Amino acid sequence: EVQLVESGGGLEQPGGSLRLSCAASGFTFSNYNMNWIRQVSGKGLEWVSYISGSSTTIYYADSVKGRFTISRDNVKNSLYLQMNSLRAEDTAVYYCTRDFSDWGQGTLVTVSS
């Protein structure tokens, strides 16, 4: 069974940093592209970033480019999102997804002073 478990969310001040993690299990992690997608409470979905299985291809949404960094560790079966220079508008639930099919339960990031 595919499992994706996000962690690392919490309350951070504007300008601060957070590192999200996503622990994957139930599949051969290195064979799959992964994404971070976020959702403001009660609102729609916003794609954040993509990373290919071998990390050779990475994409970011314009809204996070230059502030967020996606990475993965195929030995630890983990996906990461380093979030710097956080803004209030980054407040959302962050989901990791396997390709665009399987989703984790999400981790809440709140940026507020």
Contact positions vs another protein (CB under 8 A)? 35, 37, 44-47, 50, 59, 61, 95, 100-106
Q: How far is the CB of 50 from another protein (least distance, A)?
A: 7
Q: How far is the CB of 29 from another protein (least distance, A)?
A: 18
H-only helix segments in the chain:
none
Q: How far is the CB of 102 from another protein (least distance, A)?
A: 7
User: Which of 23/61 has CB closer to another protein?
Assistant: 61
Q: If you search the block for the tokens 């230059």, which residue do you land on?
A: 66
DSSP 5-20: EEE--EEE-TT--EEE
Q: If you search the block for the tokens 């396997």, which residue do you land on?
A: 98
